[in-house]
Amino acid sequence: MPAKPQTVTETLALGTVQLAKGSPSPRTDAQVLLAFALGRERDWLVTHGDSFLSAGQAARYAALCEKRASGMPIPYITGFAGFYNREFAVNEHVLIPRPETEHLVEEAIAFLQGKIDPHAPVKQLFTVFEAGVGSGAIACTIAAEVSGAVVDGTDMSAAALKVAEYNSRRLNVNARCSFAHADVVKENGRRVYDVIVANLPYIPTGDVPQRPDPVGFEPLLALDGGPDGLSLYRKLLAAVPAMLRGGGLLLMEAAPPTVHALAELTRLALPQAAIEVRADYAGLDRYVRARAA
Ligand SMILES: C[S@@+](CC[C@H](N)C(=O)[O-])C[C@H]1O[C@@H](n2cnc3c(N)ncnc32)[C@H](O)[C@@H]1O
């Protein structure tokens, strides 16, 4: 016998119960997934609580809930994640951009905007390099916010580069973003940059979370930073002195337990730079900011 049709309100209540076992926010997750399954905004669910789902809609919603119940993060289910007030396409080949990474973007934008000369006779261009672009959230946001920014980026994942390129087209910044398959930095054709930014993998190998932890759904290549979490940053810092313009800005995200060691490595690489460790929204030491001499 076919299942009895259910209303939006009934479906949400059942979905919330199903997701409560594995999610810290089951009601919100149930709403987001139902809105996605129906192709509606979340507000619509509130005003249409008595509407009935078709059998196809119910089946689609059930499949989405099953994925979420397995621990899969919502952005991998819906294919989109919010970052700095924009939507970025994501898939299982890229890290889901994090709110704390917005600090790097904010710093880079403020620094570049501070360099804009309103009396310049021609449009100023600023060079930006990002190592490990992933979805392109950092690179594309900087390009979208600073119209004179020209951004080069690298990633070791060909699949991630496709996502970054797709996002650069969606945000109409592809003419100023150029992404390459490379191990941290491109060996040939390096430029000198006003800003170098990186959110490279920084979890020590032994600490990388496993499923059903949501982080365990993200690509290992985006998480594993080697034995002490800093292997990729060592590689970047070896190249930075030749790549960063005098007076330029280097920004690198890490984790509270490793960020001070990263600052020490930065002092060795750029002994004349003004180097600080800065905190994230939660007050946790999160990133290194180095202003070259
Ligand atoms: C932590 S994720 C950050 C992604 C993105 N920048 C963000 O903030 O959302 C790190 C990225 O570095 C890339 N990566 C890992 N090893 C790399 C390497 N040796 N060279 C360049 N990129 C690398 C991963 O594929 C992943 O996309």
The model's pLDDT over 209-248, given as tens digits with 9 standing for 90+, comes to: 999 899 999 999 999 999 999 999 999 999 999 999 999 9
pLDDT at 189: 63
pLDDT at 75: 97
pLDDT at 77: 97
Nearest CA to ligand 1 atom 13: 132
Arithmetic mean of pLDDT, 79-86: 97
Question: Which amino acid is present at 264?
Answer: E
E-assigned strands of 13-110?
80-83, 86-89
Arithmetic mean of pLDDT, 80-106: 98
199 lines ligand 1 (CB under 6 A): yes
In 3D space, the residue among 220, 293, 225 whose CA is nearest the CA of residue 262 turns out to be 225
How would residue 2 be classed by pLDDT, with cut points 50, 70 and 90? low
Q: Which domains does the chain have, with CATH numbers?
A: 8-70 (1.10.8.10), 92-291 (3.40.50.150)
Nearest CA to ligand 1 atom 9: 97
pLDDT at 4: 80
Nearest CA to ligand 1 atom 4: 134
C-alpha to C-alpha distance for 276 and 38, rounded to whole angstroms = 48
Q: In angstroms, what is the span from residue 228 Cα to ligand 1's centroid? A: 17
155 lines ligand 1 (CB under 6 A): yes
137 lines ligand 1 (CB under 6 A): yes
Q: Which residues, 6+ apart, have CB-to-CB distance to 43 below 8 Å?
A: none
SS3 content of the chain, % helix, strand, coil (to 5): 45, 20, 35
pLDDT digits (tens, 9 = 90+) for 134-171: 999 999 999 999 999 999 999 999 999 999 999 999 99
